[in-house]
C-alpha cells in the first residue's frame, strides 16, 4: 500500500512492488495494488525492454483501476514500446481531452509523430508542450531542434539549440547537437567562434572544450585542437571521446607513439573496443612495427568480426610483408563485409594487380572509380595498370574518364603529361606539363620518377627551369 512506501528509497520501493507483483503471479492469486505501485511495476518492465510483461502488468492494473487517467499515460507508453504508434496516438487524444493543460501528452505525441516521420506535426506538439511545461524547456527545445534537423532545416535547429542553452547552459546534449549541426553545415569557423566565446563564459564546460577541439581539428589546426582537448581532459580526465580526438590528431601529425598511449588510456576507462585496437594497429603500421600491427588488428577482429578497417589493415600489412595471397584473402573479406568501402576496393585492386590477376584488378578499380570518382589515386593506379598491360593510349583513355573531377589537379596533369609524352604526343604533353608546373612546381619530381625518359628531353628541362620558383 502507498502509506508503506519509504520515501527516501524510491528504487527499493519499486523493486519491492515488482517482487510483490511477481510473487502474486507465481502463487496464482490476486492482490490489491495502488495505481502508483502498478505504474512502478510497468515502468520497471519498460526499463528492462520487456514490453510484453509491461503490457501484462498494464492489463492487470486496468482491471483493478478502470478509467484511471494515470494508467492512460502508462498505456500510451506501453503501446509506443510495442510499436503500436497509431493506437498510442488514440489514447493520447483521449487524454488530451481530459487534461488539455498536460505538456506530457504533447511530448508523447511529438515523439510518436517523429517516429512516424511526420516531423512538422511533431514540431507543432512540441511547441504546445513548450507553452504548457513549467520546466524542462531546454529539453523540449532540443526535441524541436531534432525535428528541424530531420527536415534538413539546420539554421532553424541551431536557433532552437541556442535558445535551449540560454535556458540551461549546462545541457551537454544541446552543446553536442550544436556542434553536429555546424559540422553538417560545414560551418567549422562558426563553431570555433561560438565555442571560444562559450568557453570564455563557461570555462569549466568540458563538452564545449571538446567540441571546440573537434572543430579546430576539422580545420587542420591540430595544435590548437590539442590545446582545447587538453583543457577538456583537465576538467574530465575520463572523457574518452576527447582521448580519441587527441589520439587522432597525434596520428595525423605522425606522433604515433603518443596516439597509442591515448587509445590505450581510453580502453583502460571504457574497456576493449574494436575501433581503438584498429587505430592502434594503424599506428604500429605507420611505425613499421608490422607484427604489433597485426596483433592489434587481430584483437579488433576478435571483438568485432565485421570491423572492416581491421580487415583492410591486416591485408595492407601482409601485402607489405610480401604475404600477397594472405593479403588478398583479408581484403576479399573487407570488400565482402563492406561492398561500398572505397578503401577496401582500392587496396584490393592494388594487391590483385601485384598478384598478376589483371582482369580482377581492373574490375576492382572500375568498382572503385564508380564508388568514389573523387579518389584520384584510384584513377592514377588504374591508368598505370592499363599502361603496363596495353600501353600509354589505354592509360590515357582511362585517365580521361576521370577528367570531369580531376582535370584541374596538378597530379592528374603530371600523369597525363607522362602518358602523352610516352605516346609520342609531345606538343600536347608539354602543354599539360606546363599547366601542372604553373600550379605545383614542386611535384615535378614525382613526374620525373614516373617518366624518367622525360629528363632527356630538352623542352621538358626548359619548362622545369622556366617555372622554377
Q: Where are the domains of the chain?
A: 401-469
- Return the pLDDT at 202: 97
Percent of the chain with pLDDT over 90: 87
Average pLDDT over residues 295-300: 98
List Cα–Cα distances, 170 to 59, 175, 177, 208, 227, in angstroms. 40, 8, 13, 10, 22
Average pLDDT over residues 84-92: 92
**Cα 30 from Cα 245, distance rounded (Å):** 57
CB-based contact 147:139 (threshold 8 Å) = no
Has this prediction a pTM greater than 0.85?
no
Which is nearest to 324 in space by CA: 302, 357, 293? 357
Residue 298, Cβ density class (10 Å: 0-12 exposed, 13-18 middle, ≥19 buried): middle
- Return the pLDDT at 10: 63
Residue 1 has pLDDT above 90, yes or no: no
Higher pLDDT, 189 or 26: 189
Note the pLDDT tens digit of each residue in 311-340: 999 999 999 999 999 999 999 999 999 999
Average pLDDT over residues 115-125: 95
**Cα 63 from Cα 57, distance rounded (Å):** 10
Residue 3 has pLDDT above 80, yes or no: no
Q: State the maximum Cα–Cα separation within the chain, in Å, rounded to a whole number.
A: 102
- Return the pLDDT at 68: 86
Q: What is the CB-side half-sphere exposure of residue 306 using CA atoms within 13 A?
A: 3
Amino acid at each position: 500500500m502507498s502509506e508503506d512506501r519509504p520515501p527516501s528509497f524510491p528504487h527499493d520501493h519499486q523493486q519491492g512492488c515488482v517482487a510483490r507483483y511477481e510473487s502474486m503471479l507465481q502463487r496464482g492469486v490476486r492482490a490489491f495494488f495502488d495505481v502508483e505501485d502498478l505504474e512502478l511495476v510497468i515502468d520497471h518492465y519498460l526499463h528492462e525492454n520487456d514490453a510484453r510483461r509491461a503490457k501484462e502488468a498494464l492489463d492487470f492494473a486496468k482491471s483493478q483501476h478502470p478509467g484511471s487517467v494515470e494508467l492512460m499515460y502508462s498505456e500510451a507508453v506501453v503501446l509506443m514500446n510495442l510499436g503500436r504508434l497509431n493506437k498510442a496516438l488514440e489514447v493520447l487524444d483521449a487524454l488530451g481531452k481530459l487534461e488539455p493543460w498536460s505538456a506530457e501528452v504533447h511530448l508523447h505525441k511529438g515523439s510518436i509523430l517523429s517516429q512516424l516521420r511526420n516531423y512538422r506535426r511533431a514540431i507543432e506538439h512540441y511547441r504546445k508542450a513548450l507553452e504548457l511545461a513549467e520546466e524542462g524547456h531546454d529539453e523540449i527545445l532540443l526535441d524541436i531542434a531534432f525535428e528541424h534537423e530531420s527536415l534538413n532545416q539546420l539554421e532553424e535547429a541551431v536557433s532552437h539549440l541556442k535558445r535551449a542553452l540560454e535556458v540551461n547552459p549546462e545541457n551537454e546534449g544541446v552543446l553536442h547537437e550544436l556542434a553536429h549541426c555546424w559540422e553538417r553545415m560545414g560551418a567549422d569557423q562558426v563553431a570555433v567562434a561560438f565555442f571560444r566565446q562559450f568557453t570564455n563564459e563557461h570555462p569549466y564546460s568540458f563538452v564545449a572544450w571538446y567540441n571546440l577541439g573537434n572543430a579546430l581539428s576539422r580545420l587542420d589546426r591540430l595544435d590548437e585542437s590539442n590545446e582545447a582537448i587538453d583543457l577538456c581532459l583537465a576538467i574530465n580526465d575520463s572523457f574518452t571521446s576527447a582521448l580519441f580526438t587527441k589520439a587522432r590528431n597525434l596520428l595525423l601529425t605522425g606522433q604515433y607513439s603518443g596516439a597509442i598511449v591515448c587509445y590505450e588510456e581510453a580502453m583502460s576507462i571504457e574497456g576493449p573496443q574494436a575501433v581503438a585496437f584498429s587505430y592502434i594497429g594503424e599506428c604500429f603500421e605507420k611505425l613499421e612495427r608490422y607484427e604489433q600491427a597485426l596483433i592489434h588488428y587481430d584483437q579488433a577482429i576478435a571483438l568485432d568480426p565485421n570491423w572492416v578497417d581491421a580487415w583492410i589493415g591486416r591485408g595492407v600489412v601482409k601485402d607489405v610483408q610480401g604475404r600477397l595471397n594472405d593479403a588478398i584473402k583479408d581484403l576479399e573479406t573487407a570488400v565482402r563485409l563492406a561492398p561500398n568501402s572505397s578503401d577496401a576496393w582500392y587496396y584490393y585492386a592494388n594487391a590483385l594487380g601485384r598478384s598478376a590477376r589483371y582482369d580482377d584488378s581492373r574490375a576492382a578499380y572500375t568498382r572503385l572509380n564508380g564508388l568514389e570518382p573523387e579518389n584520384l589515386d584510384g584513377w592514377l593506379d588504374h591508368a598505370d595498370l592499363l599502361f603496363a598491360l596495353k600501353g600509354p593510349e589505354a592509360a590515357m583513355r582511362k585517365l580521361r574518364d576521370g577528367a570531369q573531377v580531376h582535370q584541374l589537379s596538378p597530379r592528374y596533369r603530371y600523369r597525363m603529361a607522362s602518358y602523352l609524352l610516352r605516346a609520342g604526343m609531345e606538343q600536347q604533353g608539354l602543354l599539360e606539363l606546363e599547366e601542372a608546373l604553373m600550379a605545383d612546381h614542386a611535384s615535378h619530381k614525382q613526374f620525373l620518377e614516373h617518366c624518367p625518359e622525360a629528363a632527356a628531353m630538352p623542352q621538358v628541362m626548359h619548362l622545369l627551369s622556366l617555372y622554377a620558383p
